[in-house]
Chain A
Amino acid sequence: MSSVTYGGYGNGVRTNTSVWRGWDRFDYLLTLTAIALVGIGLVLIYSGSLSFYDGPLTSFSSPVFKQVIFACVGIAGMLVVSKLDYHYLTHYAWVLYGLGILSLIALLAIGQTSYGSTRWFDLGPIQLQPSEFAKLATILALARFFSEHGGDARDLRTLLISLVIVAPVAGLVFIQPDLGTSLVFFAIWIGIVVVAGANRSHLFVMAALFIAVLPFLWTFGIAQYQVGRVAVLVDSQEDPLGDGYNVNQSKIAVGSGQIFGKGFTNGDQTQLGYLKVATKDFIFSLLSEEFGFVGCVTVMSLFVLLLMRGVRAAQIAGDTAGQLVAVGIVMLILMQTVINIAVNLSVFPVTGIPLPFVSQGGSSLVSIFIAIGILQSIVMRHRAYRQT
């Protein structure tokens, strides 16, 4: 008697190809957590935009409404991607990776410059941030690479080649300049190679080498504005109306929130315009000021929950490619969240990384939902690819 192996390779048994298939394994908790964060983000964006927008909520110029639209687009994208087999993505990983690098190069030539840094393509009503796309492409490329090498990074040669995959994208982002995002790239790489079983001594040697070249990077590699931002972090009183202004004001906003916050739309720092970009990079400061320690812990708990569901996806992934893609996405969300909050808490230099799901901004919201969609795709197919 022949046994039936569901989803078995080469089995040829495809009894159900309906779009409705697999939703029973869909991680609803993961998606609901993400939507809850977006909802909190909408509340904060409303409060943070009061000082510059006083039109109706249901208008295309309302920041809240725009964010709702982007959230819908993102959720739709997530649903489509979750129905898409992630192997389709890993299959074209090198093509996507190549496109990512090309878009980053193109950006250097024709991108929009703001706050001294070139990060966007201006496409009329929307702005595209190619580094968002490049992050996902790089995750896919790394996963593809390791899955073709036995899911194994024990070998120094394999480890170094994987570094070569990540270095050009990280480098291109670094010269935009965007120190924060290039750090995210390296964090993704470290997360993936650690799970892929890199030899610890190799990692230690590389860490030592990195620390050794850091002073040279500081001198030659890091743009002057970045030096200013780091210096300001060390002493934010150094230049109270220049680089230190934001650090100072966000510190005051966060600290003055105390335990329960000043209340919705009652944050003086935000409402009186002392806190700059309160709906974007500094939305966590706004949260801290108006909702206090309680509000912050709630949001951070939601992030922990979301990330744990991501780790679960990696845990149950059907194959190495899926597992490594999931790990990469977890690292992506983890690092962006941690760096953003660290900036808001003045323990990291100002880098311009938004808070995932919460910050105002379409590009990052849509791309992060697509990343969630990829996680869902992995979760929904974990049994199909699990080898016996």
Chain B
Amino acid sequence: MSILDEGFRAPGGTSRNRPHGNLQILRFAVIGLFLLLGARLAQMQIVDGASYAQRSRENHIFQKNILPTRGLIEDRNGEPLVQNVGVYSASVLPEALPNADQFDDWKERRFKIYLKLEQLTGTSQLEIQSRVNDAEAAGQAYIAIKIADNLTKDQALALDEVTTEMPGVTLDITPGRLYLGNEFSHILGYIGPQFKEDAARLEGQGYQFNEPIGKDGLESRYESDLRGTVGYTAVEQDASGKQITALKSRDPVPGNSLKLAIDAPLQRYIAELLQDSLPDDPTYGAAHEAAAVVMDPNTGEVLAMVSIPTYDNNIWSESKIRGAELDALQNDNLTHTLTNKALSAAAPGSTFKIVTSTAGLEEGSITPNTSRYVGCSLEITGENNVIYTYPDWTCHDKVLDVRSALAWSSNVFMFLTAGGDLETTRGLGKSVEDSGAILATWARRFGFGSPTGIDLPGEGSGRVPDPAWKKRTYVGPGFNPGENEWFIGDTYNTAIGQGDVLATPLQVARMTAAIANGGKLVTPHLVDEIISPDGQTVRTIQPEFQDVGMSKATARVIAEGMLGSVQYGAGILAQLSNVSVAGKTGTAEFYDPDTGRKTQHAWFTGFAPFDKPEVVVTVYFDKGTGGVHAAPVAAKILQYYFDNVHR
């Protein structure tokens, strides 16, 4: 009997009872379950299909950004002040290291890699190992760990040669800057990684998280010009991260270059000169800080702007290896190296007499021909017949007009010009307070008390005191009642650039330029032109002026006074044999906050040639005497200018 037979019989008669099951429920179950699945399918593919399609694209299309080359910065003659360099660093991707699935001896293989890395980069194998282990324990094996930064070119080359033998190790290159010369540090600034708090804002502007940004100076101010446009390549990647096809790409556009007004050799010459000329007077203490500004009075082009001491701004990118040095710089309270002294305010001293004289001539408290006998001091009879004595810096014992008063830098003449003597001579205004306010107004017209608008961040405003300011400020603890009144002494102090007046060397240079150019207040600028990568001029910085509000005649009188100062007066050490120099010395007394001793700033500001001014020089030392220390330095700068820069 074949088992294929239909005749096979199961034992027992009950096996062939008539089937009586109701199968309708089974049919419903089949239809029902598939309808449910169909509904879910429709929801996923039809209702949400488009969004899943988008996610599918994002899943495998990876956009890789290519950072643009940053624009360069060069001086007025095309000399480069920065270079673009690659910053090399070594990273380890834990998940790409040899692992237990691949090799039995994976531990040895890893150890060999760590040892080689220690040998090449100097990062200890123990540190690498523990960082890899930590990352793996935290389930972050897919994030690359940077183990060494700022590798030297030799290290980078050596590492590059062996990366193929070391799975999981990569050599990364990020764009960096090399700055060519400490003299330009305060002007150029530096680039660095984005701060966490700025990252979100920068991302909105299309920045990549690893893209460096300008941090200070021109690098920061002209960031949008220097940066360029990020390029990208879009690639299709499979699940294991292998690139399948390149889909599209856009080349990065390099940033625009900056052509500066700065003359690099002049800048270097001045930096060296200032450093070597720092006064060390036993009476006033040693100078640590200095600044100089060289500017074209007709255009506002800044040919040199030096702040002493200089420093190496490459330190920011090498902060990991030069950490102690950077720390010292940032906590430097003696020389304030990181501060640009050309943009920080100090008492301007007698250079401010230019403002006082201009105010006197324009307001009518003096005429070009007003002559006064000036002795050693001015005595003012105050309330209750108390006699106050306001000394001059020396006993002039001469009859002075405004020109010779500027030349000899007479304090008494300026006191009387600004504040009168409360008896026979009137000051700038009808009352003591009026005189103070009018003097302050003229100071502001010359640009004091507000930033000059130079194309650098972090510029100081200086300070112009007036009766309203004093009323606001001289109150509260530490002040006696009524001390916030404006006294005639305040007008006198301001008139000679002492007391509460503060001005930056750049502001003083700008004032000087206004005298030189006949009354125009120019906006200084460091950048002359912005040049595209293919050499086309994108835009030229045009000179900008405001009107001081003085007559040409007044400017001429002041200029003659300054010429006298150099020819026969207090500024005689600024004299040159071949060029007629006009200038004004300044020596501002102040109490050194560090020592508590009375000391003085040294200033000289001048222009040349007298007949056809083309250059303004302002020199400042934190300690010294204007006529003795600043004037000869200004002379050397002008000599250099006329020998080497002048066209």
Contact = CB atoms under 8 A, between A and B. Distances in A.
B239 A87 contact: no
A331 B23 CA distance: 12
Interface in A293-315: 293, 296-297, 300, 303-304, 307-308, 311, 314-315
Interface stretch (A120-128, A226-234, A251-259): A251-259
A327 B37 CA distance: 21
Contacts of B2: 17
Contacts of B236: 268, 272
A273 interface: yes
B164 interface: no
B153 interface: no
A157 interface: no
A241 B239 CA distance: 11
In this complex, the member of B6, B37, B239, B240 whose beta carbon has the largest number of chain A beta carbons within 10 angstroms is B6
A19 B4 CA distance: 8
A162 interface: no
Contact of A255 (B7, B15, B25, B48): B48
Contacts of A194: 25-26
A182 to B, nearest CB: 19
A196 B22 CA distance: 8
B283 interface: no
A88 to B, nearest CB: 5
B56 interface: yes
Contacts of A85: 3-6, 8
Interface stretch (B27-35, B345-353, B363-371, B624-632): B27-35
Contacts of A334: 29-30, 33
- Most B Cβ at <10 Å: residue of A191, A197, A255, A334: A255
B32 to A, nearest CB: 10
A307 to B, nearest CB: 5
B244 interface: yes
B9 interface: yes
A254 B44 contact: yes
B174 to A, nearest CB: 27
Given A252-B56, A274-B239, A330-B26, A21 B6 contact: yes
B20 A151 contact: yes
B15 A90 contact: yes
A142 interface: no
A300 B34 contact: yes
Nearest to B45: A293
B238 A258 contact: no
Contact of A315 (B23, B30, B46, B52): B23
Nearest to A300: B34
B481 interface: no
A332 interface: no
Interface in A330-348: 330-331, 334, 338, 341-342, 345, 347
B85 interface: no
Interface string A369-388: 00000000000010011010
B238 A256 contact: no
A318 interface: yes
Contacts of B3: 84-85, 88
A255 B23 contact: no
Contact of B19 (A268, A273, A320, A341): A320
Contacts of A87: 8-10, 15
Given A255-B48, A257-B49, A311 B15 contact: no
B51 interface: yes
B46 A317 contact: no
Interface string A142-159: 001001101100000000
A138 to B, nearest CB: 18
A342 B27 CA distance: 19
Contacts of B14: 147-148, 150
A7 B59 contact: no
Contact of A258 (B23, B53, B240): B53
B321 to A, nearest CB: 36
Contacts of B8: 85, 87-88, 91
Contacts of A9: 9, 13, 16
Nearest to A272: B238
A269 interface: yes
B45 A148 contact: no
A381 B19 CA distance: 14
A273 B8 CA distance: 53
A323 B21 contact: yes
Contacts of B30: 304, 307-308, 311, 330, 334
A319 interface: yes
Nearest to A253: B56
Given A7-B6, A22-B6, A272-B244, A322 B37 contact: no
A144 B52 CA distance: 49
Contacts of A147: 14-17
Interface in B113-154: 142
A308 B238 contact: no
A259 B6 contact: no
A65 B381 CA distance: 120
B200 interface: no
Contacts of A322: 19
B468 interface: no
A258 B41 contact: no
A258 B45 contact: yes
Given A254-B41, A296-B45, A273 B240 contact: yes
Interface string B607-627: 000000000000000000000
Nearest to B8: A85
B50 interface: yes
Contacts of A195: 21-23, 25-26
Interface in A252-280: 252-259, 268-269, 272-274
Nearest to B52: A255
Contact of A254 (B17, B18, B45, B57): B45
A214 B550 CA distance: 96
Contacts of A304: 30-31, 34
A48 interface: no
Contacts of B46: 258-259, 293
B12 interface: yes
A324 interface: yes
Contacts of A255: 44-45, 48-49, 51-53, 55-56
B96 to A, nearest CB: 15
B6 A273 contact: no
Contacts of B470: none
Nearest to A388: B18
Contacts of B7: 7, 14, 17
Given A14-B5, A323-B21, A251 B37 contact: no
Nearest to B55: A252
A330 to B, nearest CB: 6
Contacts of A327: 21, 23, 26
22 contacts: A7-B7, A9-B16, A17-B2, A17-B7, A194-B26, A195-B22, A255-B48, A257-B49, A258-B46, A258-B49, A274-B239, A300-B38, A300-B41, A311-B30, A318-B16, A320-B16, A321-B16, A322-B19, A330-B26, A334-B30, A345-B37, A385-B16
List the 3 shortest-distance A-B pairs measured between CB atoms, nearest first. Answer: A255-B52, A195-B21, A256-B56
Interface of B: 2-23, 25-27, 29-31, 33-34, 37-38, 40-42, 44-46, 48-53, 55-57, 59-60, 142, 236-240, 244
Given A88-B8, A241-B142, 6 more contacts: A51-B238, A196-B21, A251-B52, A255-B55, A300-B37, A327-B21
